[in-house]
Amino acid sequence: EVQILESGGDLVPPGGSLRLSCVTSGFTFTSYAMTWVRQAPGKGLEWASGISHYGDNTYYADSVKGRFSISRDNSKNTLYLHMNSLRPEDTAIYYCARGIMDFDFWGQGTLVTVSS
């Protein structure tokens, strides 16, 4: 059974940093690219970042480029999102999803709140 579990969400002040983790199981992690999608409270979905199977290619939304960094540890079946220079508008539930197109499995999300 495919399982995806995000963690690391927290309340952080503007300008702060945070690292989100996404632990996966039930599938061959190296066979899949992975993606982060976020959703601000009461708002729609926003694609944030994606990474290829072995991490050699990364992709970012304009809104996070230069501040966020996606990475993966294939030995731990884990995806990461390193977030720096956080802004109030980064407040959202962050979802980890399998795939780089056609996100077929999702975690339940982790909440990041950026506020003083």
Partner 1 sequence: AFQMTQSPPSLVASVGDRVTITCRTSEDIRNDLGWYQQRPGKAPKLLISASSNLQSGVPSRFRGSGRGTHFILTISSLQPEDSATYYCLQDYNYPYTFGQGTKLEIK
Which residues here bind partner 1, judged by CB under 8 A? 37, 44-47, 50, 59-62, 95, 100-104, 106-109
The nearer residue to partner 1, 27 or 103, going by C-beta atoms, is 103
Which residues lie across from 71 on neighbouring strands? 80
| Closer residue to partner 1, CB minimum distance, 73 or 104 | 104
> Which one, 12 or 64, has the nearer CB to partner 1?
64
CB of 47 to partner 1, least distance (A): 4
Question: In the bound complex, what is the minimum distance in angstroms from residue 67's beta carbon to partner 1?
Answer: 14
**Residue 75 Cβ vs partner 1, minimum distance, rounded to whole Å:** 26
Nearer Cβ to partner 1, position 11 or 45? Answer: 45
Torsion of the alpha carbons at 111, 115, 46 and 18, rounded to the nearest 10: -60
Q: Say how far apart CA 33 and CA 40 lie, in whole Å.
A: 24
Q: Give burial (CB, 10 Å; 0-12/13-18/19+) of 43.
A: exposed
Task: Tell the smallest beta-carbon distance from residue 41 to partner 1 (Å).
Answer: 12
CA dihedral 108, 101, 72, 92 (to 10 degrees): -40
